[in-house]
Amino acid sequence: MCVTSSNAVKIVSELPQQHILFIPDQNLGRFVAEQVPQKHVILNNGYCPRHHIITVEQIVDAQEAHPDALVLAHPECKADVLAEADYIGSTAGIIKYAEESDASEFIIVTVRGVLYELERRCQGTGKKFYFPAVQPTCVNMDLITLEKLVRCLETGEGEVQIGVSDEVADQAKLTLDRMLEYAAR
């Protein structure tokens, strides 16, 4: 079954299995295990390199520079970083929290790409967003632009064909279908 940081806790809590092998992200898996203690979550050594490099020292430095700012962190960060957070949630959760919060300053502990949506949703509110000194940027996600996406949809340019059998494709689709089914419950 596939999960996202937005639905991982919900889906793992609803799975009928007691033992859950959570791959690839050990940090998200640890966070899920803490939220769903009735399950035995087995972790591996994989992680998101962008979130994993954020250190608690970077967060403390940002807090010292912006003492009134709330810390909003992504659950793919390490446990000591999450311990500094006022809120832990997915990218969508961080955006929603900042948008609905009465606070005016936030230290954002996830990839910098979220800044555009934070600023768009909070436009005119005077809210300010800060990042750790070493700003986490995902070079792969940064390759995706709105213009490239539109061009691909309109012309097919950049489309990637994956040479797999129908059986493999059906199995992959099943994991996505299961995720959507559990997330909708």
> pLDDT of the chain along its 185 residues, tens only?
889 999 999 999 999 999 999 998 999 999 999 999 999 999 999 999 889 999 999 999 999 999 999 999 999 999 999 999 999 999 999 999 999 999 999 999 999 889 999 999 999 999 999 999 877 777 777 788 889 889 999 998 887 777 888 888 888 889 889 888 988 88
**C-alpha closest to that of 82 among 119, 39, 29, 142:** 29
pLDDT of residue 137: 78
- The strand pairing partners of 40, in sequence order, are 19
CA distance linking residue 86 with residue 75, whole number of Å:
12
CA distance linking residue 134 with residue 181, whole number of Å:
38
CA distance linking residue 124 with residue 104, whole number of Å:
11
pLDDT of residue 166: 86
pLDDT of residue 184: 86
CA distance linking residue 16 with residue 20, whole number of Å:
10
| Residue 42 backbone dihedrals phi, psi, to 5 degrees | -100, 125
In sequence order, what E strands does 59-167 have?
Answer: 70-73, 87-88, 105-109, 128-130
Under 8 Å between Cβ of 155 and 94: no
Residue 105's identity, in one-letter code, is E
Its pTM stands at 0.86
pLDDT of residue 11: 95
